[in-house]
Copies of this chain bind each other. A is one copy, B any other.
Amino acid sequence: MEVISKQKQLRQRRSEALQPVGLVPTMGYLHEGHLSLIRRARQECKTVVVSIYVNPLQFGPNEDFEHYPRDLERDLSLAQEAGADWVFAPTPEEMLPRPLVTQVMVNELTDRLCGASRPGHFDGVATVVTQLFNLIQPDRAYFGLKDAQQVAVIQRMVEDLHMPVIIVPCPTLREPDGLAMSSRNVYLSPTERQRALILNRALQEATKRWEAGEWEKGEEAAAYLADMITSEAGVTLDYAEVLTYPDLEPVESFDQSKAVLAAVAARVGSTRLIDNRIWQREE
């Protein structure tokens, strides 16, 4: 496995790469969720690139950019084990040699859910993903559905701008007790770790009720999720919403919506966590 930090070296390697090229963009501190994306890319591509870059553009001024967990040594050995051919790990100076004036904005899809709580977050995501796509020119790019809104935003950006890449959404991986894997889980104290289980538990219960046809509208399901999460001590609800997927519109009737996203975000102590389910009727 080769570790690349410079654009120039990356362009050189890319020009000689076997195709298809698969990209797994990450912010590092890899967990099983990331490794499952790398393994999937390994199955489908001749060249597998993992990018490791904590993107300053997608953090708000009061967010955890400075403290976001980093461990490059460990990441490199995990990426290699999972089958990466190259890791692209640029410095911020390499990615942003001068202040950006260009922004890629995906409107509408980004004003709700995490976009409402984190203004500018998805502009930062769309911009850095565009940068990485332009640098690496992948044929396929792998994203985890834990960030379902991110997948919807990127998929729409790719379609709107006719980017020559296929987006491959991959299932969320979970700890044995059901907590969605996230690099931010390391922030949790043992007590918070237990409390955090409410996100998955609420989604699990809501899924049963949806399957049983208990609700007509998305907002009934959202209210159920909100109640259940709010009732957990030490957990502050950020949002609970049930929207069509991937267009993120209100669900007027479950019977008429093919795919629906049930998404929740909450603060456990000072750690913000998200989780979701995609509910899909069989045709």
Chain B minimum-CB-distance residue to A137: B164
Do the beta carbons of A102 and B126 come within 8 Å of each other?
yes
A243–B13 Cα gap in the complex (Å)?
40
A107–B103 Cα gap in the complex (Å)?
8
Q: Known contacts being A101-B108, A105-B102, A106-B102, is A135 close to B162, with CB within 8 Å?
A: yes
Shortest distance from the beta carbon of A37 to any chain B beta carbon, whole Å: 22
Does A217 sit within 8 A of B, measured CB to CB? no
Do the beta carbons of B106 and A11 come within 8 Å of each other?
no
Shortest distance from the beta carbon of A134 to any chain B beta carbon, whole Å: 5
Shortest distance from the beta carbon of A258 to any chain B beta carbon, whole Å: 17
Q: Mark A141-174, 1 if CB is under 8 A from B, else 0.
A: 0000000000000001100111110000000000
Shortest distance from the beta carbon of A46 to any chain B beta carbon, whole Å: 16
Interface residues of A in 34-64 (CB under 8 A from B): none
Shortest distance from the beta carbon of A162 to any chain B beta carbon, whole Å: 5
Q: Mark A108-143, 1 if CB is under 8 A from B, else 0.
A: 110000000000000000110011001101000000
Do the beta carbons of A157 and B126 come within 8 Å of each other?
no
Does A7 sit within 8 A of B, measured CB to CB? yes
Chain B minimum-CB-distance residue to A165: B134
Do the beta carbons of A156 and B126 come within 8 Å of each other?
no
Which of A101, A130, A135 has its CB near the most chain B CB atoms (within 10 A)?
A101
Shortest distance from the beta carbon of A10 to any chain B beta carbon, whole Å: 10
A130 partner residues in chain B, CB cutoff 8 A: 161
State the A residues within 8 Å of B (CB): 7, 11, 100-109, 126-127, 130-131, 134-135, 137, 156-157, 160-164
Other contacts beyond A102-B107, A102-B157: 4, CB < 8 A:
A100-B160, A102-B161, A127-B161, A137-B164
Chosen A-B contacts, 27 in total, with CB atoms closer than 8 Å, are A7-B162, A11-B164, A100-B160, A101-B107, A101-B108, A101-B109, A101-B156, A101-B160, A102-B104, A102-B105, A102-B106, A102-B126, A102-B157, A102-B160, A103-B104, A103-B105, A103-B107, A104-B105, A104-B161, A127-B161, A130-B161, A131-B161, A131-B162, A134-B161, A134-B162, A135-B164, A137-B164
